Amino acid sequence: MSEYDKEFEFYVGPATHLEGASLAIDGTARIDGKIVGKVSVKHLIVGVDGVVQGDISGETATIEGTVEDTLSLTGKLLVCASGRIRGKIQYGSIQTEEGAKLIGEITTDWDQGTAAPEVSSRLEAFKSGLTMDADSEQLEI
């Protein structure tokens, strides 16, 4: 067994190219080659020369290589200095090293679970308060 067999549930070596893949991995996957397709994984590691293109989802990821299309994570995204991500990126938390490149639509779950303030309701309450103050002043005069 190689060292990678012990550390990862799924490993793609540098000389490997998978196209049209649809993978569901309950554990860690390390990609040093190229995958084109759909990948669902608990933790993804894309090595410096690794490339993943397609619909990627999971909990966490460490990106040293290239990811393109969609990356959707519920937890932490770590983008190393050599990391490049292009496309739709969603994450729970993010850490980037100087030199990391991110291009595209980038979102987080920052406002999930909290209601956005209703501007119209606050505005109406403010106007109502001003009207009541104006009415009070008229009564006092």
The whole-number pLDDT of residue 19 equals 95
Residue 66 contacts residue 51 (beta carbons within 8 Å): yes
**What does each C-alpha distance from 21 to 31, 75, 79, 121 come to in angstroms?**
13, 24, 24, 49
Query: What's the pLDDT tens digit per position in 8-27?
Result: 999 999 999 999 989 999 99
Q: What is the largest CA-CA distance in the chain?
A: 92
Q: What is the mean pLDDT of residues 50-75?
A: 97
Q: What average pLDDT does the structure give for the chain?
A: 84
The whole-number pLDDT of residue 125 equals 61
Whether 112 shows a pLDDT value over 90: the answer reads no
Percentage above 70 pLDDT, the chain: 73
Q: Tokens in use for 40?
A: 């669902």
Burial class (CB in 10 A: 0-12, 13-18, 19+), 93: middle
**What does each C-alpha distance from 126 to 106, 131, 136, 139 come to in angstroms?**
35, 9, 15, 20
Band the pLDDT of 1: cuts 50, 70, 90.
very low
Nearest-angstrom CA–CA distance, 70 and 40: 12
The whole-number pLDDT of residue 141 equals 43
Band the pLDDT of 140: cuts 50, 70, 90.
very low
Number of CB atoms found within 10 A of residue 8's CB: 17
Whether 85 shows a pLDDT value over 90: the answer reads yes
Query: What's the pLDDT tens digit per position in 27-62?
Result: 999 999 999 999 999 999 999 999 999 999 999 999
Residue 83 contacts residue 65 (beta carbons within 8 Å): yes
Band the pLDDT of 128: cuts 50, 70, 90.
low
Bridge partners of 59, per DSSP, are none
Global confidence as pTM: 0.75
Q: Indicate the SS3 state at residue 81.
A: coil
